[in-house]
């Protein structure tokens, strides 16, 4: 089933892109987000973010540009950490491009400058992990200047990092003309359509562990959505705010009042709120421990909520079936372990089968969809976790703000 070609998304993006500038024979510093998930042996477990960067890179190489890629990877906290080198990423990129990609040993300094000065049109290099330097996250101007020195133009294609005001995201734009890549453009168009002109009924499915990450988004999209479906660890906060006992499930007590206010707002705005009616509870959030399905009225005092239950899944799926726009962010349960992955899988399947415009927020939600091989059954799966949430909170993304307007 080829998905949703009939969905038309209006392009509202008003920033310059690589299409709007002359790129041939130019040295371009291209910020990408290659913060890819890796397994315990350090192998890339999901290369979606690398593949998502290909359209911009191919366009630039086809137009005879000299492409200098830069990215962060993990959180090495300003030190060189061997397991966080970008070498495996460069290798994977080279396989995908079917072209050599030179991975450099640093991201600034004389050796990097020398390598870059020897580049020819159509060459591509990958700088080493930006976060090996503490100046990256500190947005230190001299570091930004050293990066900028490598190029004539800055291209930001790292939507997933655009909520971070770091040297390679905002700092370099002080010294170089800054334009967007195609991934950045695509992400902002899709995300923008959720806020600007969603087809109704519009359903938002929110999950994940931390309610504090999601309250701002819920607050901001309340006047746009018709229904709000809440699962995942954060559902405990909502259930508790409604007076249910949630056993030993984690609750952000300091967010309870806000959760209550939000519940009142949901009601006054006429939004249909679906909270879990039944849940899977376990003795602990670990594989192989005893689990059972209970009504939310009967959660045992020492057990924890691990997933939404079958009745809840059924109600959520029905609601998704009725929708014309659906946004999903956050797993419905502890999807890394069986059997509490079923809620997340059921939502992914329902979205994949739906004819609605389906937009999936990044991070672990995108990983779950990718693992089920359903990515191309969705209208759009974002490469940004934190960034897509910030955007939907209606917060200006610093990495977008610095780009030149059309
Ligand atoms: C992400 O994975 O969400 C982005 O790459 C940003 O990474 P960070 O949360 O470590 O800044
Ligand atoms: Mg993150």
Provide the token pair at 336. 């890394």
What is the pLDDT averaged over residues 166-173?
98
Q: Which of 223, 224, 230, 265 is nearest to 244 (CA)?
A: 230
Torsion sign across C-alpha atoms 30, 35, 39, 41: positive
Is the confidence at residue 297, as pLDDT, over 70?
yes
Q: State residue 197's pLDDT score.
A: 87
- Give me the torsion for CA of 147, 148, 153, 159, rounded to 10°: 50
Catalytic residue among 31, 49, 66, 240: 49
Catalytic residue among 78, 122, 192, 386: 386
DSSP 8-class letter at 54: H
What is the pLDDT averaged over residues 47-76?
98
Catalytic residue list contains 363: yes
β-strands 153-156, 178-180: how paired? parallel
Atom of ligand 1 nearest to the CA of 387: 3
What is the pLDDT averaged over residues 226-253?
97
Instruction: Name the 3-class secondary structure at 124.
Output: strand
* pLDDT tens, position by position, 333-366: 998 888 899 999 999 999 999 999 999 998 999 9
Catalytic residue list contains 49: yes
Is the confidence at residue 93, as pLDDT, over 50?
yes
Is the confidence at residue 155, as pLDDT, over 60?
yes
Instruction: Name the 3-class secondary structure at 405.
Output: strand
At a CB cut-off of 8 Å and minimum separation 6, what does 141 contact?
167, 171, 174
Is the confidence at residue 81, as pLDDT, over 90?
yes
State residue 212 phi and psi, 5-degree precision. -65, -25
Catalytic residue among 207, 363, 384, 399: 363
Atom of ligand 1 nearest to the CA of 72: 5
291 contacts 300 by C-beta, under 8 angstroms: no
Is the confidence at residue 377, as pLDDT, over 90?
yes
Is the confidence at residue 112, as pLDDT, over 80?
yes
**CA–CA distance, 153 with 289 (Å, rounded to integer):** 55
Residue 364 CA to ligand 2 center (angstroms) comes to: 9
Listed residues: CB within 5 A of ion ligand 2: 385-386
Q: Does the beta carbon of 386 sit less than 6 angstroms from any atom of ligand 1?
A: yes
Residue 213 CA to ligand 1 center (angstroms) comes to: 14
Q: Cβ-count burial of 264 within 10 angstroms (0-12 exposed, 13-18 middle, 19+ buried)?
A: exposed
User: pTM for the full model?
Assistant: 0.93
Q: What is the DSSP string of 60-119?
A: HHHTT-EEEEE---S--TTS--GGG-SHHHHHHHHHHHTS--EEPS-SSSHHHHHHHHT-
Q: Cβ-count burial of 65 within 10 angstroms (0-12 exposed, 13-18 middle, 19+ buried)?
A: buried
Q: Does the beta carbon of 75 sit less than 6 angstroms from any atom of ligand 1?
A: yes
Average pLDDT, the chain: 95
**CA–CA distance, 406 with 394 (Å, rounded to integer):** 21
Give the C-alpha distances (Å, rounded to integers) separating 393 from 144, 150, 281. Answer: 28, 35, 31
Q: Which of 375, 359, 356 is nearest to 367 (CA)?
A: 375
**CA–CA distance, 140 with 130 (Å, rounded to integer):** 12
* pLDDT tens, position by position, 1-17: 444 443 444 457 899 99
Atom of ligand 1 nearest to the CA of 384: 3
Q: State residue 1's pLDDT score.
A: 45
**CA–CA distance, 49 with 193 (Å, rounded to integer):** 22
Tokens 């069986």 sit at which residue? 338
**CA–CA distance, 274 with 276 (Å, rounded to integer):** 7
Q: Whose CA is nearest to atom 2 of ligand 1?
A: 35
* pLDDT tens, position by position, 247-283: 999 999 999 999 999 999 999 999 999 999 999 999 9
Q: State residue 336's pLDDT score.
A: 87
Residue 62 CA to ligand 2 center (angstroms) comes to: 32
């Amino acid at each position: 089933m080829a998905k949703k070609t009939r969905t038309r998304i209006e392009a509202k993006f008003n920033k310059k892109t690589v299409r709007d500038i002359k790129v041939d024979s130019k040295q371009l510093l291209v910020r990408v987000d290659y913060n890819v998930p890796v397994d315990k042996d350090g192998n890339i477990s999901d290369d979606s973010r690398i593949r998502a960067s290909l359209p911009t890179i191919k366009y630039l190489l086809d137009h005879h540009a000299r492409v200098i890629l830069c990215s962060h990877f993990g959180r090495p906290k300003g030190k060189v950490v061997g397991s966080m080198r970008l070498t495996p990423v460069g290798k994977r990129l080279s396989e995908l491009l079917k072209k050599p990609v030179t991975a450099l040993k640093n991201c600034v300094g004389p050796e990097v400058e020398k390598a870059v000065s020897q580049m020819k049109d159509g060459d591509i290099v990958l700088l080493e992990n930006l976060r090996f330097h503490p100046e990256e996250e500190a947005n230190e101007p001299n570091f930004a200047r050293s990066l900028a020195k490598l190029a004539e133009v800055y291209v930001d294609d790292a939507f997933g990092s655009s909520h971070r005001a770091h040297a390679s995201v905002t700092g370099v734009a002080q010294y170089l003309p800054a334009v967007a890549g195609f991934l950045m453009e695509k992400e902002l168009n899709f995300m923008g359509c959720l806020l600007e002109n969603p087809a109704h009924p519009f359903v938002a499915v929110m999950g994940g562990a931390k309610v504090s990450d999601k309250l701002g988004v819920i607050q901001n999209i309340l006047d746009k959505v018709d229904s709000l479906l809440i699962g995942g660890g954060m559902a405990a906060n909502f259930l508790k705010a409604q007076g249910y006992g949630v056993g030993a499930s984690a609750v952000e007590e300091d967010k309870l009042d806000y959760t209550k206010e939000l519940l009142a707002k949901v009601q006054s705005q006429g939004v249909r709120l679906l909270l879990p009616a039944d849940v899977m509870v376990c003795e602990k959030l670990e594989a192989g421990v005893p689990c059972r399905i209970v009504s939310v009225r009967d959660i045992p005092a020492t057990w924890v909520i691990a997933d939404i239950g079958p009745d809840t899944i059924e109600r959520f799926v029905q609601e998704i079936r009725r929708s014309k726009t659906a946004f999903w962010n956050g797993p419905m349960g502890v999807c890394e372990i069986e059997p509490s992955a079923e809620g997340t899988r059921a939502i992914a399947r329902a979205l994949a089968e739906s004819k609605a415009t389906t937009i999936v927020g990044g991070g672990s939600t995108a990983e779950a969809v990718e693992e089920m091989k359903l990515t191309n059954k969705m209208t759009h799966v974002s490469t940004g976790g934190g960034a897509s949430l910030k955007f939907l909170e209606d917060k200006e993304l610093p990495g977008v703000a610095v780009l030149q307007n059309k």
